[in-house]
Amino acid sequence: MNLSDLRKDFPIFTSPANEGLIYFDNAATTQRPLCVTKAIQDFYDNDNANPLRGLYGLSMRATERYENARQTVATFLNASSSQEIIFTRNASESLNLVAYTWALSNVGEGDEIVVSAMEHHSNLLPWQMVCRTKKARLVFLECANDGVIDKSEWESKITAKTKLVAITHVSNVFGITNPVKEIAAYAHKVGNAAKGAIVVVDGAQSLPHIAVDVKDLDADFFAFSAHKLCGPMGIGGLYGKRSILEEMPPFLRGGEMIEYVTREDATYAELPHKFEAGTVNAAGAVGLEAAIKYIQNVGLKNIEENDNHLASLLMSGMKQLKGVSIIGHQDPLRHCGIVTFTIDGVHPHDIASILDTEHIAVRAGHHCAQPLMQKLGVNSTARASLYFYNTEDEVSLFLEKLSLVRKWMGLE
């Protein structure tokens, strides 16, 4: 990849307001290339109409662009059909959709839902709600301090009582890629009295960094957000196996998701529209499509190689710094460009604030993973997360400034 050329695609890096910016908060949200914002603008300028129901040309064009975006997502994930792709606001909404529709209808008293201890709150709180409501039990797959979940964990925790397994594909704290394919195979074999447990995958951190094949993973559901893969905020998606989606009730009710309504009852539209109530975010879908095509052009293999290269440089340098501790696996190839860390005697919020004065953006806090922080014995951490438009020079400058944090805090 020619990084200097790629960076020119991102207006934020050439904006006078952001002179000298080093953006290392990509796990929270990525930046957008110009082609994404142009695609959104083009939709509003040339094809803006309420899609799906309009019988005039402009609405038909809006519908076509919206459904073309759905097909692009389906192809990107290797779904069997575009009908298996539901547009949502983000991964959080996608996961809640599964909780409120499938889980509340299928989980009962005495059943178990299995989650990992490293889950983002978005893939934990919905299952806590289901367990409280249905008097089910929440079971945790524990991980070691390096983020690895041992095979013995899922083989002992996933049982005939397990109705659903919720697992992050890539941890937003450790950056580690979980063995989702193996966990799904075991859950389908022994879960739900050998009928097979449902497997829900949080793909918010994996989809921007590694190739995802939902059929190969054998995920029943796969959730993601556009804004973490160079797309717009306010749109995401849920992949679901068609046979399961067809049996699920709608999540929200209203316009566009119905087939026929009487005073007493209603019948619902076919997939995927029964899950997309109201006016849809067609422009967001168009922006997501542009982002996916851009990432495909860059190449996920190139992105993965660059993530690993920069993480190796970053972690190697951090290991030389006094008082800096890396959270998670010591192998940089297992981080997907996400490096979480602490500095002795310095609160993570102070780390972020100090680096901000040097025009370096990192995340600090519990990263919406408080149970994991509690397990690790820390209240919060700092996190530097890299993407393909970051450079070796940025890593070097980051390390230089990081080495001075304890001194600037008066600790050296």
pLDDT digits (tens, 9 = 90+) for 82-95: 999 999 999 999 99
270 pLDDT exceeds 90? Answer: yes
User: Does one domain contain both 129 and 205?
Assistant: yes
Indicate if 143 belongs to the active site: no
User: Does one domain contain both 274 and 332?
Assistant: no
Neighbours of 370 (CB within 10 A): 14
Write down the H helix ranges in 158-263: 180-190, 214-217, 242-245
Q: Which residues are CB-neighbours of 180 under 8 A, at least 6 positions away?
A: 167, 169, 199, 201, 217, 219
Query: CA 381, CA 327: separation in Å to the nearest integer?
Result: 8
- For residue 30, is it within any domain? no
177: left (phi over 0), alpha (psi -120 to 50) or beta: beta
User: Does one domain contain both 207 and 345?
Assistant: no
Q: What number is the average pLDDT over the span 202-225?
A: 98
Domain that holds residue 48: 37-295
- For residue 371, is it within any domain? yes
Query: CA 316, CA 330: separation in Å to the nearest integer?
Result: 10
pLDDT tens by residue, 120-153: 999 999 999 999 999 999 999 999 999 999 999 9
* CATH code of residue 53: 3.40.640.10
Residue 238 Cα to chain centre, angstroms: 11
**Residue of 35, 143, 336, 368 marked active site:** 368
343: which strand partners? 324, 346
Q: Which of residues 253, 278, 295 is at a domain's end?
A: 295
- Lowest mean pLDDT of 49-53, 75-79, 394-398, name the range: 49-53
Contact 182, 153 (CB under 8 A): no
User: Does one domain contain both 291 and 305?
Assistant: no
User: Does one domain contain both 291 and 309?
Assistant: no
- For residue 31, is it within any domain? no
Query: CA 329, CA 403: separation in Å to the nearest integer?
Result: 21
Per-residue pLDDT, 1: 65
Q: What is the pTM of this model?
A: 0.98
Number of domains in the chain: 2
User: Does one domain contain both 316 and 255?
Assistant: no
- Helices 392-402 and 348-357: crossing angle, nearest 10°? 120
Q: What number is the average pLDDT over the span 214-229?
A: 98
Average pLDDT over the chain reads: 97
